[in-house]
Amino acid sequence: MRSEAPTLWLPGSKPIWFTELGCAAVDKATNQPNKFLDAKSSESSLPKFSNGRRDDYIQRQYLRAMYEYWGGDPANNITDVETGVQMVDMSRAMSGPGMRDLSPPGSPPAISNCGAMGG
């Protein structure tokens, strides 16, 4: 039911946080970044047109594209003129549970400029 009284929320007062950013390391994962393979999940499936082969490169390219688009060009990530808040706060972006850094233990992350690696 819609409330008659407005809330205190104001447009531009709070940025978007990507709390589960990423795609599976599988062929054509960027077709449907929300699809993944997990034998224990009822939602397990391949992205459209995927042959199911592992593809670490597409996973890295997906992250690169997202960080370059939202974090690179200010024209893509507008700043509210009244609050000074950017629409998307990429400093708080978190990679989803399917995103694993495969760097050897003790070495820096292979994707060093891609925010926090969750999972």
Split at pLDDT 50, 70, 90, the class of 43 is confident
pLDDT value at position 98? Answer: 54
pLDDT value at position 110? Answer: 52
pLDDT value at position 37? Answer: 82
CA distance 99 to 43: 17
CA distance 87 to 85: 6
